[in-house]
Structure 1
Amino acid sequence: MSVLRLPSSLLLACLGAAILLPAHAQGVLPVPQNVVQLSASGVVEVPQDFLSLTLSTTREAPDAATVQTQLKAAVDAALAEARKAAQPGQMEVRSGAFSLYPRHNKEGRISTWQGTAEIVLEGRDFGRISSTAGRVSALTVSQVAFSLSREERARVEAQAQTMAITQFKAKAGDIARGFGFSDYSLREVSVMADEGGMPRPRAMAMQAKGAYADSAPVPVEAGKSTVTVTVSGGVQLR
Structure 2
Amino acid sequence: MSETRRGGFGRLLTGAAWVALLLALWLRGHDIAEEPIATAPRPGDVVAQGRPPAHGLPPAHEPLPGAGPQGLIIKNMGLRAPIEGHGLDPLGGVEPPPYERPGSVAWYQDGPEPGASGSAVLVGHVDTKTGPAVFYELSTVKRGDQIAVARADGTIADFTVEDVSVVAKDHFDVDRVYGPEDTRRAELRLITCGGDYDRDQHEYSANVVVTAYLTGTERTPRPA
TM-score with structure 1 setting the length: 0.23
TM-score with structure 2 setting the length: 0.24
Larger radius of gyration: 1
